[in-house]
Structure 1
């Protein structure tokens, strides 16, 4: 995460350790040596990592004072912090139809994270706290898992909440996005973030395209032609035929479309810069015995950074932004635009 997100603003309040360092120390495995190993040694290493990973995940339950495995998840728990609603039922509960359809038998309760996992609790004595997914999003008037937006009783946590409200990408990704906007698009443009294939989004193509169509018609009538449009979508270009995107691509007199491809040189260059920067390793203190990965590993473990560069490009769209309703990616881009990340 810290290779992608700039966490430097939090170092005064949070102590970081890179996960690669954490695994090397806790599992007794030197990841630096993995690239030069022969197949038999690598197989032994992977088996050791698998066993250690199972332990850390909490899959096998609690392990003395080493690992505490939280069994709470978004189906039965909404986490709160220092509020007066610990243990009460959440406002959103599955109705009879949903219970029958999904075979749901549990109730959702609001639970204070400090009381459940803090000092004095069983979790508080463990070295490692294993949690499942912490993804959360507003749903039908309630948070799906974590409802901690402020902490008026704890100024230290309140300040931390304010700091993490928006965390920018690292400089390498921001520079790449700005470079694409300035050197490839070279003109004011609109960004269209279209999530079309995943989950429920694939059932709402008509509504997603309608918002974009309305925006482009206004720009077509009031602005200079062709209207420059950066398209960020999970729908491969080969499948655009027969869709509104295909129609836009054909209308080259009115619209000029841009996309960022995984094989583009900018993506490869930025990936290399990220690997060389070692942002995550630089954040930590007190763990100097880890020197990073062997160069031989790089070709096998390149981070996928295209999405983050695309988000940055969209933050620079001066003609506006059209995002997919309900998409967390659209929400992220909106925050970047709100914080004027492109002008910094």
Structure 2
């Protein structure tokens, strides 16, 4: 039955006959009518998030929805967890942006575990919207506290940009243009400047995070995550079930209503899709890893039907550090150690690793014993570990440090001159603001001040990984550590054997 609004509200003649009724009574009748209307027509188009009316209203609220990049389209994502995971996500983001012909918005490096995803195998993760909000809030804090360092300040993507395999823009430059904000205010000493910028960033972030709605030709927020989707490209029939699904016990316990499907990212989000017209395509996490014979979120290892993407997949397997870091690592290996050496990466405190000290030490002990039998003493070895030196007493590391006749131990600390000097060089270089893939972006970048940070970027890990790539006597890494995996990739590609690169 349809509700007739005209029958509920009396006509003008009836109101004239009942002049004694108060305005409050008239207002009450009007409100009751509206309630009935919304009850019977909950999906009326004035409240449809895809309607033109809603989009016009949002365009007025967010004037930056109108593209200022001459038709350029962008891809934004929400990195998380430790640096190695963030690097893995950067590689996936580069791949997705290239497949979808979008310009990648290069994010900063987030503090270690400032934002956590959760567990994909247990189907317990933050939703894409939640993680985008968390990442945006943390980026605002990095800007506010002057601790911002771009991924492009640390990872060298120049070869990808010069070969036109991908286009990229720094997050600060994008936000300055798209949100219409003056990022330079982070360097201001005016009392009201920074709070005003922070408030404006949070308002812009509510749109870029997909808090409100998707708007035509403005933003499309991807709400699929590893619980429901495995993204593929040119790999099988789109929409088929993935081999890994939540078991029946987990479905009942967690009340999981969905299944995991394999979806072609180009078909789902590329030309002709609902997402394609949007200026910004916003993902949540882009982290993936192998699990039970499949990938947890992105399964794109090759693209035989697309030579350009196939070439990109090969190139992003190894993305080197910028020259300032590589040169410092090589310098430590050749000028401080000055001998063939072994590298050991021992992760002992974080997560699951704190419960496996015995197995972690066993691998190192076996490797050192074999070297002692094969050669002369002392054995030179470089150690990178998260266990502070004050806690080495009473364990295998303490024993090695005391046995100076057989072992010569090297390690780096944050306060070492080499580490601090490298951090200063990176800050001065500001590489994240020195590339142009989008017309006009370099001019915009020139207007973004790279103000002196209150705290120098933490570069110890990157230098340590580079030193380990130069270890000619071998490498012992902690099983399951993403840091160990990164070092293995560096060693595979012969980073240390390549000539030193110029740093500008």
TM-score (norm 1): 0.93
- Distance change in 2, residues 1:196/1:93 (3 Å): farther
Does structure 2 retain, via aligned residues, the 8 Å contact 1:78–1:146?
A: yes
Determine if the alignment matches structure 1 residue 45 to structure 2 residue 197: yes
Aligned position for 1:273: 425
Does structure 2 retain, via aligned residues, the 8 Å contact 1:18–1:284?
A: no
Aligned position for 1:336: 490
Aligned position for 2:154: 4
Does structure 1 retain, via aligned residues, the 8 Å contact 2:172–2:448?
A: no
Aligned position for 2:59: none
Distance 2:213 2:483 in 1: 34
The structure having more radius of gyration, on CA atoms, is 2
Alignment partner of 1:15 out of 132, 148, 167: 167
Unpaired runs of 5+ residues, structure 1, are none
Distance 1:54 1:66 in 2: 13
Aligned position for 2:446: 291
1:102-117 counterparts in 2 under 5 A?
104-117=256-269
Q: Which region of structure 1 is more displaced relative to structure 2, 52-61 or 76-85?
A: 52-61
Distance 2:368 2:254 in 1: 41
Q: Which region of structure 1 is more displaced relative to structure 2, 124-133 or 104-113?
A: 104-113
Distance 2:416 2:229 in 1: 43
Distance 2:308 2:449 in 1: 39
Alignment partner of 1:254 out of 388, 403, 406: 406
Q: How many angstroms does 1:306 deviate by?
A: 1.4
Determine if the alignment matches structure 1 residue 221 to structure 2 residue 376: no
Does structure 2 retain, via aligned residues, the 8 Å contact 1:281–1:292?
A: no
Distance 1:321 1:191 in 2: 5
Distance 2:401 2:254 in 1: 42
TM-score (norm 2): 0.65
Does structure 1 retain, via aligned residues, the 8 Å contact 2:348–2:357?
A: yes
Q: How many angstroms does 1:64 deviate by?
A: 3.4
CA distances 1:128-165 after superposition (whole Å, capped 9, x unpaired): 11111111111222112111010011112111112212
Q: How many angstroms does 1:99 deviate by?
A: 4.8
Q: How many angstroms does 1:103 deviate by?
A: 5.9
SS of corresponding position for 1:191? strand
Determine if the alignment matches structure 1 residue 318 to structure 2 residue 472: yes
1:1-344 counterparts in 2 under 5 A?
1-11=151-161, 12-99=164-251, 104-285=256-437, 286-287=440-441, 288-291=443-446, 294=449, 297-300=451-454, 302-344=456-498
CA distances 1:240-260 after superposition (whole Å, capped 9, x unpaired): 223322222222222222221
Unpaired runs of 5+ residues, structure 2, are 1-150, 499-504
Distance 1:294 1:114 in 2: 37
- Distance change in 2, residues 1:277/1:104 (3 Å): same
CA distances 1:266-309 after superposition (whole Å, capped 9, x unpaired): 111111111222222222243113226646x3232532221111
Q: Which has the higher contact order (CA 8 A, sep 6+)?
A: 1
Does structure 1 retain, via aligned residues, the 8 Å contact 2:378–2:406?
A: yes
- Distance change in 2, residues 1:61/1:197 (3 Å): farther
Does structure 2 retain, via aligned residues, the 8 Å contact 1:191–1:230?
A: yes
Distance 1:293 1:183 in 2: 38
- Distance change in 2, residues 1:158/1:46 (3 Å): same
- Distance change in 2, residues 1:99/1:235 (3 Å): farther
Distance 1:258 1:248 in 2: 11
Distance 1:129 1:242 in 2: 53
Number of equivalences: 343
- Distance change in 2, residues 1:253/1:169 (3 Å): same
Distance 1:333 1:292 in 2: 37
SS of corresponding position for 1:283? coil
Distance 2:365 2:252 in 1: 39
Does structure 2 retain, via aligned residues, the 8 Å contact 1:189–1:230?
A: yes
SS of corresponding position for 2:192? helix
